[in-house]
Structure 1
Amino acid sequence: MAGVLDSVNQRTQLVGQNRLELLLFRLKGKQMYGINVFKVKEVLQCPPLYEIPNRNPVVRGVAHIRGGTISIMDMNLSIGRSPLENIENCFVIITEYNRSTQGFLVGAVEKIVNMNWESIHPPPKGAGRENYLTAVTEIENQLVEIIDVEKILAEVSPLSDEISQGVIEDGIGERVVQKHVLIVDDSAIARKQIQRVVEQMGIKTTLKKDGREALEYLESMVAEGQIAADELILVISDIEMPEMDGYTFTAEVRANPALKDLHVVLHTSLSGVFNEAMVTKVGADDFLAKFNPDDLARVLNERVKCMTGESLLDEEE
């Protein structure tokens, strides 16, 4: 395992090509799971774990790693199964999500594979709403399940989706009552978090689960004679998504003359190894690291003010 992630920070050349690299791992048994390498900081043999009082049952303990203390969650417990055994023989995947670092205990780490997002598909419809999958794929004739880590984190350590007092501009929703915000994210938890923030501001939302579905929706608006930039305040899009990632989605929007004027904000938990140069390259208007309700609200405030001409009036005054 030594050196398997040595070049994680150099893998950003994949970004914008609708490609990703998956770190494959196992929990119990033969089932293979995957996690995007962009979210992985390190993989190591499970270090000594120390119990903490009143911890969530999913947290097996904390570990002292690189001068810091990190909570270590049992990935098998996190998805509603039995705890991993003989943890001294297990591995810990250190990840960065939503501006925080955490570790996931797994049974074994296999290898890294280079994939195209088009080969990554949403979970089967029969999987049910309570499943912990964000996507599935097939590698060497074996099903690989990609776990919705944001769902796990929301259950272990819920993030507030309440906007702080005084952040919402007075009457902001009333100024764009006929318009809405398009939210694009493969995680059902993330979609709901963003939706709650936007709707607190009195603004309507439309939800799509990946870039391809969102692009088809926008193209259908055009086919019906609608001007998307007039109907939508902005598009808030995740980057990591099956079928079509957020970079490719944004590039496709900019390449379409009927859609090129849409305001696109990329919203992602890829904060640690995120290549911000790609935002400019694909033509996104803004980037936000997940998940801060106040930051989202401020972006919406400014966008609505810009659409209604208030920013210009404020500057003149």
Structure 2
Amino acid sequence: MVGLLDGIDKRTNLAGHNRIELLLFRLENGQRFGINVFKVQEAIQCPVFTQVPRSHSVVCGIANLRGKTVSIIDLSMAVGGAPHPRDGSGYVIITEYNRSTHGFLVASVEQIIHLEWSQIYPAPKGVGAGSYMTAVTQYNKELVEIVDVEKVLTEVIGVDEHLSDSLVVDSPAEAHHVLVVDDSSVARHQVKQVLDALKVTCTLAKDGQEAWEQLQAWLKEGKDLPSYLSLVISDIEMPRMDGYTLTTRMRADPRTADLYILLHSSLSGVFNQSMVEKVGADKFLAKFVPDELATLVKDCLTEHRSHSTASAA
């Protein structure tokens, strides 16, 4: 499983066509889970790690991997399951999320599979706000759960959601509206908090398909979207339709082609910048730094206001 990110051009093409590669693994209860290969640096047999006093209960310890100290999180415990035995068994999946590297201890690692995002479905209604499932799919007639890793890391590591006082707005200069697209409830909440601090109203969508349907609904209502919608902030990884495909569709439709699109994802690296250029998005921003997001949003709103004023003149 070492070298999972070899063949970057091949994977870029997969992502550009609403496709995904999942690394399948199992936790203590035997349930099969999946994680996007793009977030995986490597999968290795459980390394020797050092326990850290007073650390979070689901943190097994820290390990030195390729000269970098990485925290090892028992993923089974993190999602409410039984702990993995601390006997050196199992595997650790080394991932990069939200600009940081973490290891997730799992019972076993299986294989990489190729799917279309249309084969990935939102978590069923009724699973509750406490669920760690962000999406589901099927493989060989078995359910595969996709874990909301952003929620796990927020609970275990913590995320600074504080916005600098200098960026907080007392009252809106004028009406702005933003469409926020993300399958993670945690991520949607984080973005909405920033927009609330800027006194900007927003509509939330859980995936690219829902966002596309919302855009079509606004058009049917007779809204002039370039005037009504100041910005679209979209995640990349989402069930049914990913952010790349949403962007491609919007750019292909003259009625939405000129909307400003910010791709805001826990995926990071050179790959994303190349995909931003390929699909025609305006900007990519790695999650989640509130001040960076707020600054970019304010700049975009200023640009949108200037453009609207010029168009009306």
Q: TM-score, normalised by structure 2?
A: 0.94
8 Å contact kept, 2:182–2:234: yes
- Corresponding residue of 1:44: 44
- Corresponding residue of 1:174: 172
Deviation at 1:29, TM superposition (A): 3.7
Unaligned runs of 5+ in 2: none
Equivalent in 268, 286, 299 of residue 283 of structure 2: 286
8 Å contact kept, 2:195–2:294: yes
- C-alpha distance in 1 between matches for 2:203 and 2:246: 16
- Asked if residue 148 in structure 1 is aligned to residue 148 in structure 2, the reply is yes
Percent identity of equivalent pairs: 49
Q: Residues 98-142 of structure 1, C-alpha deviation per residue, up to 9 Å, x if partnerless? A: 000000000000000001000000011021121100100000111
- C-alpha distance in 1 between matches for 2:234 and 2:220: 22
Q: Residues 235-280 of structure 1, C-alpha deviation per residue, up to 9 Å, x if partnerless? A: 0000000000000000001111111121110001111463312111
Equivalent in 181, 189, 207 of residue 210 of structure 1: 207
- Corresponding residue of 2:254: 257
Q: How does 1:12-23 map to 2 (within 5 A)?
A: 12-23=12-23
Deviation at 1:283, TM superposition (A): 1.1
- Asked if residue 192 in structure 1 is aligned to residue 189 in structure 2, the reply is yes
Q: Match for 1:126: what amino acid?
A: G
8 Å contact kept, 2:28–2:83: no
- C-alpha distance in 1 between matches for 2:87 and 2:261: 44
SS in 2 for 1:206: strand
Deviation at 1:86, TM superposition (A): 4.8
- Corresponding residue of 1:135: 135
SS in 2 for 1:77: helix
RMSD (Å) for aligned C-alpha atoms = 1.9
- C-alpha distance in 1 between matches for 2:252 and 2:16: 14
- C-alpha distance in 1 between matches for 2:21 and 2:162: 34
Unaligned runs of 5+ in 1: none
Equivalent in 226, 242, 254 of residue 223 of structure 2: 226
8 Å contact kept, 2:226–2:258: yes
Which deviates more from structure 2 when the two are superposed, residues 145-154 or residues 226-235? 226-235
- C-alpha distance in 1 between matches for 2:138 and 2:250: 29
SS in 2 for 1:175: coil
Deviation at 1:89, TM superposition (A): 1.6
8 Å contact kept, 1:38–1:273: no
Q: Residues 133-184 of structure 1, C-alpha deviation per residue, up to 9 Å, x if partnerless? A: 010000011100000000000101221222113234x66x52232x311100
Number of residues paired by the alignment?
Answer: 309
- C-alpha distance in 1 between matches for 2:34 and 2:5: 18
- Asked if residue 96 in structure 1 is aligned to residue 96 in structure 2, the reply is yes
Residues 198 and 87 (structure 1 numbering): CA distance in 2 closer, same or farther, change over 3 Å?
A: farther
- C-alpha distance in 1 between matches for 2:270 and 2:141: 31
- C-alpha distance in 1 between matches for 2:166 and 2:2: 50
Deviation at 1:13, TM superposition (A): 2.4
- Corresponding residue of 2:121: 121
- C-alpha distance in 1 between matches for 2:43 and 2:218: 45
Deviation at 1:8, TM superposition (A): 6.1
Q: TM-score, normalised by structure 1?
A: 0.93
Deviation at 1:7, TM superposition (A): 1.7
Which deviates more from structure 2 when the two are superposed, residues 127-136 or residues 271-280? 271-280
- C-alpha distance in 2 between matches for 1:136 and 1:114: 14
8 Å contact kept, 2:24–2:32: yes
Deviation at 1:94, TM superposition (A): 0.3
- Corresponding residue of 2:296: 299
